[in-house]
A and B are shown apart, each in its own frame.
Chain A
Amino acid sequence: MKKRPSAALATAALAALVAAPAWVSAQRVKPVYVGARVCGQCHSGSGMGNQYSVWLHSRHAQAYAALAEPESREIAKLSGIRQEPQETFTCLGCHSSGANAEDWEKDETFRVEDGVQCESCHGPGSEYIDPEVMSDPQRAKAAGLIMPGPDTCDRCHQEKGTHIAVLNSPVLDVKEGLKKIAHPTPENPEMGGVPEYPAEAPKREGPKYIGSAKCGECHRGRKSGFQYSKWLLSRHSRAWAALGTAQGMKMARAKGIQGDPQRAPECLKCHSTGYQEGAEAFAPSFSIDEGIGCEACHGPGSDYSVEAVMMDPLAARKAGLKKVTKATCMPCHENAHGKPFEADLSAVSHPSKLPDVAEEPRYKTPLNMALRPGTKEIWVTCSGSDSVILVDASGREKIAEIPVGGMPEDVAFSPDGARAFVSNLFDDTVSVIDASARKIVRTVPVGDEPHGVLMDGKGRRLYVLNSISDDITVLDGATLKREKNLVASRRPWSLASSPDGALIAVSHALSRFVPFRKPSRAEVTIIDTGRGVVEDRFVAEGANLLLGIAWHPSGDFALTTLNRTKNLVPMTRLLQGWTITNGLAIFWRDGTVDQVLLDEPGMCFPDPTDVAITPDGRYALVTSSGSDRVAVVDLRKLIALIQSSSPYERRHVLPNHLGKPTEFVIKHIAVGRSPRGVLILPNGETAFVANSLDDSLSVIDLKTFKVVGSVDLEGPKVITKARLGERLFHSAKITFRRQFSCHTCHPDGHIDGITYDIEPDGIGVSPVDNRTLRGILDTAPFKWEGTNPTLRRQCGPRLAVFFTRIQPFTPKELSALEYYISTIPRPPNRFRPLGAELTEAQRRGKEIFERKYTNDGRLIPEGNRCITCHYPPYYTDRRRHNVGTQFQFDRESDFDTPHLNNIYDSAPYLHNGIAHSLEEIWTVYNPYDKHGVTNDMTKDQLNDLIEYLKTL
C-alpha cells in the first residue's frame, strides 16, 4: 500500500502550492480527511450521545459496502458505467467520503471503505479535530468544520432515476432522514473515547489481531466475492456499536450491567473481537470498534494474513487460521439474551466465489469488417461482446471468436495478413493479434476512444483515429512505437487507402467548429503515406457526419457518407423531407467536393454509415443503419450526372435535390437490423453487411443485388429490454418518412456537435447545443431549459411534437428506449483515472474550483462559487441558474446546470454552443462574474482551472 504523508505534511505541501497573497494563503490551510474512526475517539460514549455509534449503526457507514450488492451493479449500468461500482468515482462520490481527494489529502487513518463518514457532511477534519479547537464552535468552523443543512444532503440524496429504477426507493424525505441519523451533542458534552483492551489481561504470545481492515485489503472486489464488504454489511461489524444504542443499553441493564455497555467486559466479550485476550494480543492497526471482526471467528491473523501463507491452506492453518464451524458461534450466540440460536452460518457466509447469477445476454453488435489478406477470413469487430468474430467467407459461417478490449470498433491487417489490429474504443487501446494463432500478442495504448484503424500498404505505419482527442496516432509499422500524432478534424471516424497506397483519406463525424449560426463544414483529411503527414484537407460545405469512406479504384475520388442537417431553422420542414438529409460526398483528388442525396421524397435513407465500391468501380454499396437497407449506387451514372451539371447545380442543386437519387440509385436491398459496415470481396461477386442489432452478416450477391444468405454470429436470441431500446434508438421508423433516428443527432449516444433551432418559435430563436446522452439518467431535468423532468417525457411527447411528427413510441417502447439510453456507456475519464494523483496544474485548478476567496481576498458569495452548483459526483446541482448567458434570441435567462463529467469530450459549450473552448466560457461569456467569479483570475489560474475541469 502506498504510504501516505501525514495530514500536517499534506497541509504544508498544499500550502506551498497555492500561489496567492500571503495573508490569503494563511487563511487557506487545506484540511485533509482523517476518517470517522478518528472522530470516534472523542465522539463516543454517553457523554457525547454515542454519536460515533450512531454513525456506525447508520447506513452511511455501510454505503461503500452497499456497492458490492448486485443492485449496485444494475444502478451503475443505468448510469452508463461498465466498471465495478466500488471502482468508479461516480458511485464512490456518494458512497464514500473523499472520493475525489488525492492520497495526500487523506491521513493514514482514513479508509474509503468506511463509507459516508462524518467528514462527508462536516468537511475534512484535520484542522478542527483537536479537542481544544472543537470546544470552540467559532474556531472549529474557522478551521473547516461545516454544520450541514438539508442542502448538504441534497448533494447525494436528490432524486436519482437510476436508484428509483432499481431499488424503487422513494425520494428521501430529508427531514425524516435527518431524524434517522440524528446525533445531537448533549447539553454538557463530555468527550468519551473508544475503550482500550484491558492491559491487565494475562501475558500471551503468538499471533496478534490485526483488524478486519487488513483482511479487507485482499478480500475485496469481485474476485474475492466482496467478502470484506459482506462483513461490513453484517451485524457483526456493528456489534460494538450496538452497545451504544438505546436497545443495547436496555439489554445491558436487563442483564444487570451498570455503566456504559461499550466498556463493560461482560458485553465486550461477545461484542468485540478477542476482548478477553488483553491489549498485548492486538496490533496497533486493531480497534475495538470494529465489533466482531474476521479474526473473532478465524483467529488472530498476523501470521496467516501474509498472502503467500494464505494461498497455501495448510500453511495458513499452521499459522493460526481457524476453521469456522457452528461451534465457533456457540460461545456467544447460544441463548444469548434469551434468544434461541439456529447456528445458520448462511447468514454470515461469505464464499470467495460469488453465486452464479444468470448474466444478462451479451449481444455481439458487429460493426466493421476486414478481410485478412491472402485468406477468406472476414474479421468482424463486435462492440457488444468485446470480441472479434472470424467468419469464413466461403462457408459463410462463424469460425472463431477472439476476446479483445472494450468496445472494439474497427479492424485492419498488416499487408502480409500476419497481424490484425483492433481499435478498442472503451479502453483507448489497439489489440495486436497474431492472426494465424488468433491470439492477442500486444495491447498498444493510443488516444481517446480510437475508431478507425489502418496500416499503409507497405506496412510502414499504422494509423489510429482517436475520435475524442481529434487526432491520429501514428505508430511505426514494425515496432508499433508511437511516432507522432497528426491533427485531425473533429471526431475522426474511418479511413481508406487510395488504390496506389500513396494517400489515406480520413472521414470525420463532426463538423469543424463554425461561427455561431453558420452551416456545418465537414472535413476529409488526406494523409501522404510516404511521409506520414497530412497533405491536404478537403471540406464538404453544409455537411456533417462523414462516416463511411471508400476510395474509387480509379483513384480519382473518394466517397463518404454524409448528413446535411438543417439545424439553423426550426425543424418544421419534416413534411418536405428536408430537416436532415442523407447522402454521399464525392471528394475529387484535386479537392473539388460534390454532394448528392440518397433520400427520396417518399422514403429517406437515414443514417448512411458505410460505403464500399466494387473492384471494377462500377457500383457503390451504402448502408443505412436507420432504415435497415443497402443502397446500390451506379457510379457511372452518378459521375455522369455530376459531370453534366453546371457549377451552380453542383454547388446548390445536387446537394439538396431529393429527385436526383432515382437517377443513380438502382436498388435498395433490405438487410438485417441497423447495418453498419459493408465489405466487398476482392472478386467483386459478394458483399457482406454487418447487421449490428441482430448479430448477423447479410450476404449480398453482386450480380443480382440480392441477399443470398446470412451469417449468424451466434448472439443471444432473446431480445432484452435494453436491446429493444437500442433498436428503437437506431431506427428511423419513428420519424416521418424515416428521415432520422435518435442515433442521427446522438451518434452512438454522444453528440453531433451541432447547435439546433428546434422549436417553431421563429428562425434563430432559442438555439440549443446538443448534449451527450452518456450517463445522463441521474442528471434530470433534461433540456437546457430544464423543462423535461424525465427521459420518458423527453423521448415521448416532446420527441413526437418537435422532432418526429409521427405517432410517438408506445409505452413499452418508451420504457425500453429510456432503459437503453441510460445504459449508453460513459468511458472513463482519460485525464484522471480513479485514484490517480492530480498533476500540479490540476491540483492548483482544484483549489480554484473550490475557492471561497478572490485573489484579492474578497469572499466569493457561496452561490457564485464553482463548487456550489457543480458539486460531485456529477458536478451539477440539477437546477437552473442565470449565469448571464442569455442572448438576444434566447427565450429564457435561466439554464440547466450541465454535468461536467468528461466535459472535454463534448465541445462546444454553453446552452447555445457558442463557446468553442472551455476558456471562452469565462474569457468571453462571463463579463459580469455571473457564471462564477472568474474575472479576478490570472491567465495561468484559468489554465489550471481548465486542467482540473478535464479530470471531472
Chain B
Amino acid sequence: MLAKLVWPAAVAGCLLAAPARPEALPYVYTHWKQFTVKDGLPNDHIFAVKVDGPRVWIGTEGGLAMLDKRTGRIRSWTEKDGLPWKVVSAIDVDPKTGDVWLGLFGGGLARFSGGRFDHWHQLNSGLVNDVVYGVAVEHENIWAATTAGASRYNTVTGEWTIFTEKNAPMEEIWNYTVTYNDGKVYLGVWGSGVLEYDVKRERWKDYLDPDGEMEIDLYRDDGVVHVITTGVSYVDGILWTGSYFGGSRYDGRNWRGYFNKDSGLPSDFINFVKARSANEAWYCTDKGLGVITDFKTNTWVVYTRDPEKHTGKAVVMRDRDVLKTIDTGINIPHNYVLCADLDGNDVWVGTSKGLAWGIGDAYYAGLREQPESEPQQRAGGE
C-alpha cells in the first residue's frame, strides 16, 4: 500500500487556485484497509456491516463474518456452520443483550446469540416475508423490512405484528430498509417514501414526494426527492434519506435535496445512507462514497477508487466545485458501495468487491482551516 506522501504534479494541478486565506476543509480519510475473501470473508459482496464494540459484523452474499479489531482475525459462518441462510442482507445488534440480528435475503430473520443461530421465517413464525432487506432493534422489538411489509417481533412476548397497507400508510409494501433511533422507527419503502413510527405514541407518519412518483424533483426542497427510498438514518433529530434519484435531509421543518448535479453526491443512485450527526452523512452510491461533511456549506468528500489503476482518491467539493483532490491510495475496494457503519472516528464501508475500514485517528467534525503548505493529513493509504 502507499505509505508515502504523494503530491504528484497531476494531482496538484487539479487543486483549486490557492485562496487568499487558508481554506476551511473537512477531514478526509486517507488511511484505509481493505478486506476481501483473501482475508477470510465468505464473499466479497458486502451487503451489511455493523460495528459492535471491538467486533465488526459483516453480512455478505455468501455468509456472515465477524472481524475482531483486537486481533485482526476474521471468523465466518456459512450454512454448514449453522447460518440458516447464506445471504445476509442486514445486521443490527441489540445493545443490551449483545445478540446479533440478521436479515436474510430470501431466508427470513436470524438471531446469533452466544454462537447459536435461531431462525424465523414465514413458515415457522409470524414474519411476513422471507426476503428481508433491513433489520433494526428497537428496545425489545425487532423490526424487519421485507418485500411484503414490515414485521415487528417482540422478543419478550413472542408476538409478531405485521405492518402493511392495512395498518400503516404504506402505499407500497416493498420495504427496503428500517432503522431505529431516539424513539422513532423509520421504514424506507420502495414507492412509499419514508414512514416514521413513533414508538411511544404508536403513531405513523409518512413522508412522500410532493412531486409524485416522478424521476425529477420538480420543486426543490419540498420533501423527499423520490418515493423509492433505499436508505434512512436518523441522528440528532435530523432525518437523512436516500433514494435511487438523490438524497434528502429533513430537520423537522425544512427539507433539503441532494443530487449529483448540485452537490458532491457521486451519483443519484443511492444504496444506503448512514448519518454521523446533523451535519454529516455518508451516502453509499453506485459510483462511490459521498460524504456530506458540513451541511451548512454543502461541503462534501467523495471517495472513489480508480478502477483502472491501483489507487483511489478523495475529492473535496462544495456544491459542485472541487476544492481539493487527494490521492488516498486504495480506499474503498469498489465504487459500487452498498453499506456503511460508523465506529467512533472510523468508518466501515461495504462494497460489491470487499470491505473497507477507514481509520480516522485525527478525525474532526465539520471544517477546519488548514495552512496551505501543510496538508491536513497525509495523503495515501496502506
Spell out A's residues near B (CB within 8 Å): 19, 447, 469, 471, 483-487, 489, 512, 523, 525-526, 531, 533-537, 831, 841, 904, 916-917, 919-920, 923-924, 939-940, 942-943, 946-947, 950
- B162 near A487 with CB under 8 A, answer no
- The answer to whether B97 touches A487, judged by C-beta atoms less than 8 angstroms apart, is yes
A-B contact sample (12 more), CB < 8 A, given A471-B156, A537-B113, A940-B128: A19-B166, A469-B156, A483-B96, A485-B140, A487-B99, A531-B98, A534-B113, A919-B123, A919-B126, A923-B124, A924-B124, A939-B148
Do A487 and B126 have beta carbons less than 8 Å apart? no
Cβ–Cβ < 8 Å partners of B157 in chain A: 831
Are A533 and B97 closer than 8 Å at their CB atoms?
A: yes
- Residue pairs across A and B with Cβ atoms less than 8 A apart, 25 shown, are A19-B166, A469-B156, A471-B156, A484-B97, A484-B140, A485-B155, A486-B97, A487-B97, A487-B118, A489-B116, A512-B116, A534-B98, A535-B114, A536-B114, A919-B124, A919-B126, A920-B123, A923-B122, A923-B124, A924-B124, A939-B128, A940-B166, A943-B161, A946-B126, A950-B158
10 closest Cβ pairs, A-B complex: A534-B114, A533-B98, A943-B126, A537-B114, A484-B96, A940-B162, A923-B123, A537-B116, A943-B160, A917-B124
How many Å from the CB of A919 to the closest CB on chain B?
6
Cα–Cα distance between A534 and B128 once the two chains are bound (Å): 28
CB of B125 within 8 A of chain A? yes
User: What's the minimum C-beta distance from B101 to chain A, rounded to whole angstroms?
Assistant: 11
A259 smallest CB distance to B (angstroms): 61
Q: How far is the CB of B165 from chain A (nearest CB, A)?
A: 11
A218 to chain B, nearest CB (A): 35
Question: Nearest Cβ in chain B — how far from A796, in angstroms?
Answer: 39
Q: Is A917's CB under 8 angstroms from B125's CB?
A: yes
Chain A min CB distance to B338 (Å) = 28
Q: Which residue of B lies closest to A486 (CB)?
A: B97
The distance in angstroms between the C-alpha atoms of A747 and B166, with both chains bound, is 44
Q: Is B125's CB under 8 angstroms from A919's CB?
A: yes
Q: A831–B166 Cα gap in the complex (Å)? A: 25
Closest approach, in angstroms, between the C-beta of B83 and any C-beta of chain A?
Answer: 15
In the bound complex, residues from chain B placing their C-beta under 8 Å from that of A534 are: 97-99, 113-114
- The reply to whether A487 and B155 contact each other, CB–CB distance below 8 Å, is yes
At the interface, yes or no: B318 with Cβ under 8 Å from chain A?
Answer: no
Scan residues 109-165 of chain B and give those whose CB is less than 8 A from a CB of chain A: 111, 113-116, 118, 122-126, 128-129, 140, 148, 155-162, 164
By beta carbon, the residue of chain B nearest A917 is B124
Q: How far is the CB of A448 from chain B (nearest CB, A)?
A: 10
Bound together, the chains give a CA A7 to CA B158 distance in angstroms of 33
Residues of B within 8 A of A920 (CB): 123-124
Structural contact, B125 and A487, CB atoms closer than 8 A: no
Whether B162 lies near A939 (C-beta < 8 A) is yes
Q: Per DSSP, are chain B's interface residues mostly helix, strand or loop, or mixed?
A: loop
Chain A residues, CB < 8 A from B111: 487
Q: What string of 1s and 0s marks CB contacts (under 8 Å) between B290-311 and chain A?
A: 0000000000000000000000
Hey, which chain A residues are within 8 Å of B122, CB to CB?
923, 939
List, in ascending order, chain B residues with CB within 8 A of A917's CB: 124-125
B115: A residues at CB distance < 8 A? 536-537
Collect the chain B residues with CB atoms within 8 Å of residue A923's CB: 122-124
What chain B residues lie within 8 Å of A536 (beta carbons)? 114-115
Q: How far does the alpha carbon of A733 sit from the alpha carbon of B122 in the complex, in Å?
A: 47
Residues on B with beta carbons closer than 8 Å to the beta carbon of A947: 159
How many Å from the CB of A546 to the closest CB on chain B? 15
CB neighbours (8 Å) of B113 from chain A are 487, 534, 537
A904 to B158, CA, bound (A): 10
Identify the closest chain B residue to A528 (Cβ). B98
- Whole-angstrom CA separation of A904 from B10 in the bound complex: 70
Which residues of B lie under 8 Å from residue A471 when comparing CB positions? 155-156
Smallest Cβ distance from B363 to chain A, in angstroms? 27
Bound Cα distance A870, B64 (Å): 44
Interface centre among B97, B155, B156, by most chain A C-beta atoms within 10 angstroms, is B97
Are A485 and B156 in contact, CB atoms less than 8 angstroms apart?
yes
Inter-chain CA distance A924–B166, complex, in Å, is 25
Could you mark each residue 341-370 of chain B with 1 if its beta carbon is under 8 Å from any beta carbon of chain A, else 0?
A: 000000000000000000000000000000
What is the distance, in angstroms, from B282's C-beta to the closest C-beta of chain A? 29
- The CA-CA distance from A471 to B155 in the complex, in Å, is 9
A726 CA / B264 CA spacing, docked (Å): 77
Q: State the Cβ distance, A744 to closest chain B Cβ, in Å.
A: 26
Q: Tell me, rounded to whole Å, the shortest Cβ–Cβ distance linking A924 to chain B.
A: 6
Chain A residues whose CB sits within 8 angstroms of the CB of B125 once the complex forms: 917, 919
Chain B residues with CB below 8 A from A924, complex form: 123-124
Q: State A939–B120 Cα separation when bound (angstroms).
A: 14
Nearest opposing residue in chain B for A533, CB measure? B98
User: Complex Cα distance A536/B160, Å?
Assistant: 27
- Whether the pair A939, B118 counts as a contact (CB closer than 8 A) is no
In the complex, are the beta carbons of B114 and A525 less than 8 A apart? yes
Query: How far is it, in angstroms, between the C-alpha of A933 and the C-alpha of B171 when the chains are bound?
Result: 30
Distance in angstroms between the alpha carbons of A523 and B122 in the assembled complex:
26
Cα-based distance from A947 to B162 in the complex (angstroms): 13
B164 cross-chain contacts in A, Cβ below 8 A: 940
- Bound-complex Cα distance A19 to B124 (A): 24
A469 to B123: give the CA distance in the assembly, Å.
Answer: 21
Residues B124 and A841 in contact, CB atoms below 8 Å apart? no
Residue ID in chain B nearest A942 by CB atoms: B126
A943: nearest residue on chain B (CB-CB)? B126
Chain A residue at minimal CB-CB distance from B127: A939
Minimum Cβ distance to chain A for residue B96 (Å): 4
| B348 CB, nearest partner CB in chain A, Å | 22
A83→B146 CA distance, assembly (Å): 45
B111 CB, min distance to chain A CBs, angstroms: 7
**Chain A positions within 8 Å of B161 at CB level:** 841, 943
Complex: A942 Cα to B162 Cα, angstroms: 11
Known: A483-B96, A525-B114, A537-B116. A939 touches B140 (CB 8 A): no
Q: Which residues of A contact B114 (CB under 8 A)?
A: 525-526, 534-537
Q: A916 to B119, alpha carbons, bound, how many Å?
A: 12
Which residues of chain A are within 8 angstroms of B124 by Cβ–Cβ distance? 916-917, 919-920, 923-924
Contacts of B126 in A (CB 8 A): 919, 939, 942-943, 946
Q: Within 8 Å CB of B98, what residues of A? A: 531, 533-534
Contact A841 B159 (CB under 8 A): yes
CA distance A919 to B124 in the complex (A): 5
Bound complex: CA of A447 vs CA of B157, how far in Å? 10
Measured in the bound complex, the distance between the Cα atoms of B98 and A16 in whole Å is: 41
Query: CA A947 – CA B97 in complex, angstroms?
Result: 25
Provide the residues of chain B in CB contact with A904, threshold 8 Å: 158
Chain B residue at minimum C-beta to C-beta distance from A924: B123
A487 to B124, CA, bound (A): 18
B-chain residues with CB within 8 Å of residue A939 when the two chains form the complex: 122, 126, 128-129, 148, 162
Residue among A484, A534, A924 having the largest count of chain B Cβ atoms under 10 Å: A484
Bound Cα distance from A512 to B113, whole angstroms: 14
Contacts of B155 in A (CB 8 A): 471, 485, 487
CA separation between A469 and B140, bound complex, in Å? 15
Give Cα A485 to B113, complex, Å.
13
Chain B residue at minimum C-beta to C-beta distance from A950 = B158
Q: State A947–B157 Cα separation when bound (angstroms).
A: 10
Chain A positions within 8 Å of B129 at CB level: 939
Name the CB-closest residue of A to B125.
A919
A11 to B96, CA, bound (A): 43
Chain A residues with CB under 8 A of B99: 487, 534
User: What 1/0 mask marks residues of chain B from 73 to 88 whose CB sits below 8 Å from any chain A CB?
Assistant: 0000000000000000
CB distance from B82 to the nearest CB of A (A): 11
Query: Smallest Cβ distance from A841 to chain B, in angstroms?
Result: 7
Alpha-carbon distance A273/B136, docked complex (angstroms): 66
A386 to B123, CA, bound (A): 42
Bound Cα distance A428, B16 (Å): 71
Q: Give A904's nearest chain B residue, CB to CB.
A: B158
**Could you say which residues of chain A place their CB within 8 Å of the CB of B96?**
483-484, 533
In the bound complex, CA of A485 to CA of B162 (Å): 23
Residue of B nearest to A527 (CB): B114
Minimal Cβ-Cβ distance residue in B for A447: B156
Residues of A within 8 A of B158 (CB): 469, 904, 950
